[in-house]
Structures are given as C-alpha cells and as structure tokens.
Amino acid sequence: MDISQIINELGEDREQYYNAVAPPIMQTSNFTFKKVADLSKAFEDEMGGYIYSRGLNPTVDILRKKLAALDGAEDCLVFNNGAAAIFAGIFANVKSGDHIVSVTAPYTWVQRMFDVILPRFGVTCTYINGTTIANWEKATQHNTTFYYLESPNSWDFAIQPIREVAALAKSKGITTLIDNSYCTPLYQKPLEMGIDITMQTATKYIGGHSDTLGGVLCGTHAMMKKIFDSEYLNIGSGVQPFNAWLLIRGLRTLPARIERITRSTEKVVKFMQQHPKVDTVLFPFAETFPQYELARQQMKAACGLFTFTLKAGKRESIVQFCESLQHIMMAVSWGGHESLVIPKCAGIRPGDFDPANKTHQYIRMYVGLEEAQYLIGDLEQALSRI
C-alpha cells in the first residue's frame, strides 16, 4: 500500500464519526453489551473486539493498523513506551533455563532487564559484538532461544548483518527481536529480512514533538496475539487513547520530517567532519563509517543521530562544549522538533572517566527541524570556546 494512503486513510472510517477529518479520541475505559451471549463471546477472545481499554480501543486500533502496514507486518501492538514494548516482546518469548544472545550495549533499560530482572527467573544473557555472523554462531548455546538486535545502535551505530542473523536464528528455531528505532520502517524493514519482531520507540520519530511516549511491536498476528493475551493485558502497559491520538497526529508528518532531518543531518555531519577541533564523527552513511557498505545495503538512508568526539578529549572540554551551546539543548531522547546533544560522560562518575577510552568521550547529537545553518552556527561558536 502507498505510504500516503497508510498515513492518511488506513484504519480510518470517517463516516463513523461525523466525517471528521481527525479521528476521535475514544477516551473510555469500557464498552457496553446488550446480550450476555455477546459478552461471553467477547471474553473468549479479547483481541477480537472491544471490552475494556486495557485491551483494545478504537483510537489505538487506527494507530495499530497504520504502524503494522508501515512495517509490512500482519499485526502490531502499541505500548505506553518503548521500554514496555521491549519488555513484553522478550518476556513473552523466554522461560526459565533459556539463554539470550544480545548485542553489546543495547538500550539502557534492555541491558537492565538482561542483567537484573531476567536472571531472577533463570534466564541468562551473553553480550556479543554483533557485527559478524561468526560471533552470533559462537555465542549460541543449546538453550539459546532468543536473539536481541539493535541495528544501528543508538550511540555508536554498530550494525548487524540482519539477513544472516535472521537466517541463522530460523535454522535453530530461535526468536529474533530488533530495535529499529534509529531507522523507523521508512528507512529499514527488518521483517522483510526475516526478523520475527520489530520494535521501535514511538516516543522518538513517530510522536516527533517531544510531547508523548509510545512503543511499538510488529510481527505476525500469532506472535502479537501471544504477547497480547499475556504480557500486554497483564502488565497493563498499552498506550492510552489520547497518546495514541498524538501518535497518529505525529505519523501524518513523519515522512516530511524525516526527509528534512535527513537533508539537515548531512549538512551538519559534513560541517563536523571538516572542523579542526573535531576528532571522529560516527554516522552510518558517512564513507568513513566502518560498516558503511553494510549500512547502505540494509538501510535506505540514515538521519538524525550522529556521535562525535573532540580532539581535546578531556572531560572539562566536553563539559565546556555542551554548556556553551545556545540553541541546541542538552537532554536525553531524540526525534522531536528540537536539536539535542548528550555527552556520554554525564552518565559516568567523574572519577571513573577515562580520557583514553574513546567511548567515554562520545557526544551524541540529534538534528531536529531547525535550519541546518542555524545549528552549524551554534556548533561553531561552542567549538570556538574549547
């Protein structure tokens, strides 16, 4: 289906709500029945109709249909945030005694799940450098049932050979889940490459305005139903109707925003690459990126996030640079209208900061919707202060 049709029409039935162009926010907790028999039937399959908004809700369903179609998936579940989506996607697919292979340095709260929560239930995890298929093969044990991918990673943009990892998993009956937040389905379609479940945080590009959280899982209807019937209903972390409405609104402009961000990021990255005070620039579509070829094979484009280090690698220089920015804000997250930076050292105690460790020096930038020249001007004046 055409992307414009998905975004503007799919899942919307305007005659049902006075031909309103914007969909209604169905802010209701429950749905009424006239016949006991109908209620009994509804109880048999909560994913088959509307009973209670911890399960399905009409506003949320409009969003589900659009997101599933964008990903080329049979079905989709939308959660209150990305972390909840990942938690449910993994928890529904592992049991005591199972082993997970994961890329190193996945999203913070995923790492916490693997390190702290799952071990309490007898599920273990091995982290690997996921850039080669050989590393996946080597780490796979007799009890490995789950592969966790994040491609590209949201800090160093490390990429996994998605098709090969998916094929290896299929040959061993292992379930795969990928965090596709960096690309969104516009720039990468992992289900077409054989991955079982795609995840993205809707808080970032889909919401697009830094005013709501959301998380998405896409896959087969059978997989979504499995997650819905247990974790989704039990944890109660489904997206609320108002937030779903904001996410539908965000989706309307997703392609336009991504297109602009892609163009601006290119300019900002070029500026940083040639600046004498900048050391390395990590960006998947930069020719200097170590996995440039693979990035071009798997991704349609790259945008928004890039990471750099300064030639003056001291903590004080990083602090000076970040605090000198006048327009670009310092904050976690990304995907909104506003450009952001975040220094890795903010999460490292000053005594533990190792100036010889390049990753400690990382500064990540997100390019928002401002004019590229406005951002470059701000970066230039902040660089001049160090």
Q: Which of 57, 81, 102, 131 binds ligand PLP (CB under 6 A)?
A: 81
| Beta-carbon-side half-sphere exposure of residue 191 (alpha carbons within 13 Å) | 22
Q: Shortest gap between Cβ of 105 and ligand PLP (angstroms)?
A: 11
Residue with Cβ nearer ligand PLP (81 or 361): 81
d(CA 239, CA 67): 13
130 binds ligand PLP (CB under 6 A): no
Within 8 A by CB and 6+ apart from 199, the residues are: 82, 85, 86, 89, 177, 178, 179, 180, 181, 215, 216, 217, 218
**Options 82, 89, 284, 368; binder of ligand PLP; rule CB under 6 A:** 82
Q: Which residues from 204-223 bind ligand PLP, rule CB under 6 A?
A: 204, 213, 215
181 touches ligand PLP by CB under 6 A: yes
46 makes contact with ligand PLP (CB under 6 A): no
Lookup: tokens for 141: 């044990």
Q: Which residues contact 128 (CB under 8 A, 6 or more apart)?
A: 101, 102, 103, 104, 135, 136, 138, 139
- Kindly tell me which of 131 and 140 has the beta carbon lying closer to ligand PLP: 131
Is 201 a binding residue for ligand PLP by CB under 6 A? The answer is: yes
Nearer to ligand PLP, 174 or 213 (CB): 213
Closest to ligand PLP by CB, 199 or 310: 199
Segment near ligand PLP (CB under 6 A); pick from 91-99, 120-128, 156-164, 201-209 = 201-209
Considering the complex, what minimum distance in angstroms separates the CB of residue 302 from ligand PLP? Answer: 14
Q: Which residue number is nearest to ligand PLP in terms of Cβ?
A: 82
Closer to ligand PLP by Cβ: residue 52 or 109: 109
Asked if 266 interacts with ligand PLP (CB under 6 A), we say no
Question: Does residue 307 touch ligand PLP according to CB under 6 A?
Answer: no
Q: How far is the CB of 87 from ligand PLP (least distance, A)?
A: 9
Q: By C-beta, is 64 or 204 nearer to ligand PLP?
A: 204
The answer to the question of residue 179 lying near ligand PLP (CB under 6 A) is: yes
Please classify residue 299 by burial: count the beta carbons closer than 10 Å to its beta carbon, then call 0-12 exposed, 13-18 middle and 19+ buried: buried
**Binding test (CB under 6 A) with ligand PLP, winner from 26, 68, 83, 294:** 83
Amino acid at 239: V
Cβ nearer to ligand PLP, comparing 58 with 82: 82
Size of the site for ligand PLP (CB under 6 A): 12
Cβ nearer to ligand PLP, comparing 59 with 181: 181
- Nearest-approach distance from CB 154 to ligand PLP, in angstroms: 4
Measured from the CB atom, the residue of 6 and 149 that comes closer to ligand PLP is 149
- Based on the shown chain and the rule CB under 6 A, indicate whether residue 309 belongs to the binding site for ligand PLP: no
Q: What is the nearest approach in angstroms of ligand PLP to the Cβ of residue 19?
A: 33
Q: Binding to ligand PLP (CB under 6 A): which residues in 147-176?
A: 154
203 binds ligand PLP (CB under 6 A): yes
Lookup result for tokens 């997250």: 333
Task: Report the alpha-carbon distance of residue 315 to residue 356 in Å, rounded.
Answer: 11
Q: Compose the 88-127 pattern: x for residues touching ligand PLP by CB under 6 A, - for all others.
A: -------------------x--------------------
Applying CB under 6 A, the residues found at the interface with ligand PLP are 81-83, 107, 154, 179, 181, 201, 203-204, 213, 215
